[in-house]
Chains A and B, each alone.
Chain A
Amino acid sequence: MTQEFKVVGKSLPRVDAFAKVTGQAQFTVDVSLPGMLVGKILRSPHPHARIVSIDTSAAESLPGVKAVITGRDTTDMRFAFVDTPRYPADQNALAQDKVRYIGDEVAAVAAVDAETAQAALDLIRVEYEILPAVFDPFEAMRPDAPKVHETEHEGTSIWEQWGAQKTSTSRANEKVNNVSGRTIITYGDVDAAFASAHHIREDHFETSATAHCALEPHAAVAHLDPSGKLHLWLSSMGIYYKRYVIAKVLKMPTSQIHVHKAYVGGAFGGKMDVYPYEICAAVLSQKAGRPVKIELTRQEVFTTTRLRFPTYIDIKTAVSADGRILGQHIRTVVNNGAYRGTGPVVIFLFHGWTAPVYRVDNMRYEGVSVWTNSPVGGPQRGHGAPQIRFAIDSQLDMIAEDLGLDPSEVMLKNVRQIGDVLPNGDVLKSCGLTDCISQAVNVSGWKGKRGRPGSNRLARANGTKRRGVGISTTTMISGAPYYPFASAGIVQLHDDGRATLLTGVVEMGQGSETTLAQVTAEVLGLRLEDIHVVSGDTEQTPVDMGSFLSGGATVTGDAIRLAAVDAKRQLLEIASERLDALVEELEVGEGRVCVRGRPDRCMSISEVVRLSIKETGNPIIGHGFRKILSGTDHYPSLAKGTGRWTDAYGFNAQVAEVEVDTETGLVKLLRATTFHDCGQPLNPQIVEGQVNGCVSTGQGQALLEQIVYDKGRVVNSTFLDYRLPTTMDTPETAGGSVESFEPAGPFGAKEVGEGVVAQTLAAIANAVYDAVGIRITSLPITPDKVLAALAEKKQTA
């Protein structure tokens, strides 16, 4: 049902490209204000310790030091991404009584330059009483393990303060040591499903902590001006969300905070949470009376922001003889790290990424997040999808092998279809999973390339390098209810017939400035270059849900479409009089308003705008808005998984082709064939870029990336020791969009750009199995694991 559009659906150049290729685009790290000070943070060297005393006097009297703050200055500044009565906020801007991980913020200084700030940190004397620490989530759950958090605070709730309704108020009954979140979701009759199964598999999977590695380090510039207005530049994913939380923490009205536009040098989920360094920058600025910039070092980014949750997954699946999934029992445990962050969210999401893909009528899902004295986990591209899809699709591959079936055919038997209603009530008004799988299979040469089930793959070919293919599928939401619950847009016409789009969206590389301008241009019959975009500024652009819930295309896109539609309506109303036609008879195109089929009866948009201003004073400003989740103002229960939470899901399927070097254990991703259902792609070149980036991240996290800890200390916090894919690792890529239309999104568009990471993991793991018959169930699949598995296989053969 792909319509032919004039601007939407075209691979037009990005509107921010010129500024970025010439080095003019300003990022938070580039911001410089008169009198700006350099801020730095003093961090705990211990994973768990009580703070006995802090003496900042020497630091305060160092020439060039303009402000020093400690926990005393931030006593009631508590915040967290999840902040509810069940899960009260547990992180403070600066440590209060104790520190809970290596890197925990203890004090902050602002000084005239970096050297002075560093010298000031060196002069702060902290006396610690070291406490026993725990790093493993299973050990942390034991009753005798050290308690990472001793007191439970009273929680307020972002939702309730906004008057939104909760679906339930019950608390978890059982208290287990250091558990920071628990989700239990059941439906159907899992026991009956297992009893009637033809085949049951039970497998265990583990994934490592990985880092976002956005190239722009985390940074904040804060300037409390003499009038009391707090100006902020934050390398963030959602200016309205950040403004709200920071205002709450600093006890200021939200409108007293102005978050300014800055391009964001990558985020991938790591710049969503409010961080202590942001609060510290604001408090330091207040104390010093000058702007303060805090730019984290790369080491601080690796160790003190967020990491993907290390996850332990047990899956037991019952299938029929032909491979249909009858029931599933899934248990997950995540290492939350020292603060709750989004721990309770990710354990909810593991199920959230399961239900939309394969139809499973009988499910028992149990997830637990556990505090430990380790660096903090948080959302990272996919937010749980990579971990759970790795497990589910690795196991499905094993099940297919057990049954002597082709895994792609097993998937096709189980995938959801348009119209399916998910257990939580979400309805799939679009779903291209079947198409995605079929096309991935066709285009990749799947049938000719894979080994037969049960065959001895090592014997299959000569030479020391073996090839194989694997397949996986995944899904991703298109927006979910969270503050600020909606997006809005303003389209302002100019008297030269061009338009300015005001959108609160944050441009962090995903191309939203461009795609939203394309939507605007399409509605108004203008060219992309006629649209000027102003984005990401809380004073100049209206509320936006933020770029962290994958709702950019669907929710914000639709809000902008509605704003453009409103502007168009006004244009047509003015023009209809002058053109002596009914509004229904008019259309826009090529910068003009015309009577349909009558090119002799036209006015340029410029003329219409000028006429409007002259006659009524109306300069033609359109506005539009869209709630994140339509049809309800209830938000879902994280603990029970009940309640709708998105209007649309994006879907993907991928076939990965790998080559395994049986002498070195190195696995090379040769080719990734990815088909995605993103509804109507707004800009195919941008979509392709997003998919390629996801494949690269997936490849990295499947084969190369792993944060390594030693008793709570990250030992590989550099780009040398933490291996990101380079140009040398780039695979061949193939694929495209399948035909699909999402009614909830503008022109049928929905999510792309987060989901594809997830499936690359299982696709690669399955391809490795296809190549050499070894099954690696922990990530990353490193050469030493491969070599060891090959050696073991040889021995047992």
Chain B
Amino acid sequence: MRPFDYLEPKRMDEAVAALVEHGREAALLAGGTDLLVALKADVLRPKVVINLKRIPGLAEMAAENGEMRMGALTTVRAIEKSALINERFPALAEAACRLGSVQIRHLATVGGNLCRAAPCSETAPPLMVLGAKVRLVGPDGARTLPLENFFTGPGKTEVASDEIMTEIRIPTPAPGSGAAYLRHSVRPLMDLALVNVGVWVSLTADGRSFADARIVLGSVAPTPIRAPRAEAALRGQAVVEVTLEQAAVLAAEESRPITDVRGTDDYRRAMVRLFTRRALDRAVARAKGSGVPA
């Protein structure tokens, strides 16, 4: 790695001030699993690295006021092991437990995973379908952004060069809804996803039709993408085989995979169909099991 200067701000305003001062010559260090790879590959050459981990309060998880608040520096391992997450947001736990290896999960953070904005990001699809928002803090204060609108290109996000993500907020899931996350790769672990799918469905009170649905496809476009045609094919329709299958087919059509060293576009498209269907099945089962009497 090329040498750089190093700062360990103890407070958020110090960190922001450092970003303001150094602008694009600064890089933020969270878990380091993406940053160090980029530094070693000489893809990034920052003059200053700002370690965020000495700022208290950025790695806590709490449920309050009808939403889950997760500090951006929460490690993927903590998410994987959190009883709260496993109970309320199993789709997110499903994503966490498949990221890298146990070693990587102890370092990697959810904020880092989102800000790295890889098309195959593990945490983006479940967080997006769960309607998550992210909180960004800059010199002019804080703003909150739906994750929907967060990714602008491969490796690119809405975060300005003087902003830091501090928190992810996930609304409490409504009764009668359920979410699931599945990912497919050749090796079960330690392999970037060929295809990953996040699905959230909300059922009508009698549990027989879809009130609403969100489907996010990863690894098959420059960013994680919604599958609006597939979603539309579910809304208002009965929860039956032919509906689910049709949505899966549409999701595959809406995907835009490429052929690369990890797999072919045809194969990815076929897997989008397969895993969208499987994720739908699981989400529906969860939605049916989650009903709270009105």
Contacts and interface: CB of A to CB of B under 8 A. Distances in A.
A783 B190 contact: no
Contacts of B186: 666, 704, 723, 782-783
Contact of A784 (B1, B2, B267): B267
Contact of B187 (A664, A708, A716, A728): A728
A115 B189 CA distance: 33
Contact of A728 (B2, B184, B189, B266): B189
Given A115-B2, A115-B3, A708-B261, A788 B266 contact: yes
A716 B189 CA distance: 17
Contact of B190 (A118, A715, A720, A788): A720
Contact of A787 (B2, B190, B192, B267): B267
B interface residue count range (under 10 / 10 to 19 / 20 to 34 / 35 or more)? 20 to 34
Nearest to B1: A115
A764 B208 CA distance: 45
A728 B270 CA distance: 24
Interface centre among A664, A725, A728 (most CB of B within 10 A): A664
A708 B2 CA distance: 29
B187 A784 contact: no
A402 interface: no
B264 interface: yes
Nearest to B267: A784
Interface in B5-61: none
A726 B187 contact: yes
B42 to A, nearest CB: 9
Contact of B266 (A704, A708, A720, A784): A784
Nearest to B101: A726
Contacts of A728: 187-189
A contact patch SS: loop
A782 B2 CA distance: 38
Interface in B262-277: 262-264, 266-267, 270-271, 274
A784 B191 CA distance: 16
A729 interface: yes
Contacts of B264: 784
Sort chain A's interface into a size bin.
20 to 34
Contacts of B2: 115, 118
B263 A784 contact: yes
Contact of A726 (B189, B192, B274): B189
B266 A664 contact: no
B186 to A, nearest CB: 6
A118 B39 CA distance: 14
A787 B187 contact: no
B201 to A, nearest CB: 22
Interface string B82-122: 00000000000000000000000000000000000000000
A664 B261 contact: no
A777 B17 CA distance: 61
Contacts of A115: 1-3
A664 to B, nearest CB: 7
Contacts of A666: 186
A118 B40 CA distance: 12
Contacts of A784: 263-264, 266-267
Contacts of B1: 115
Given A728-B189, A782-B186, A715 B261 contact: yes
B116 to A, nearest CB: 14
Contacts of A708: 261
A721 interface: yes
A176 B1 CA distance: 46
Contacts of B262: 721
A665 interface: yes
Interface string B188-200: 1111100000000
A217 to B, nearest CB: 14
B103 to A, nearest CB: 13
A664 B192 contact: no
B261 A721 contact: yes
Contacts of B3: 115
A726 B102 CA distance: 13
A792 interface: no
Interface string A779-797: 0001110011000000000
A732 interface: no
A665 B184 CA distance: 11
A779 to B, nearest CB: 14
B191 to A, nearest CB: 7
B34 to A, nearest CB: 12
A716 B262 CA distance: 9
A726 B188 CA distance: 9
11 contacts: A663-B274, A664-B274, A666-B186, A704-B186, A720-B190, A721-B261, A721-B262, A723-B187, A783-B263, A784-B266, A787-B267
Q: Which 6 A-B pairs have the closest CB atoms?
A: A784-B267, A728-B188, A716-B261, A784-B264, A708-B261, A715-B261
Given A729-B188, A782-B186, A784-B263, 7 more contacts: A115-B1, A664-B274, A665-B267, A708-B261, A720-B191, A726-B190, A788-B267
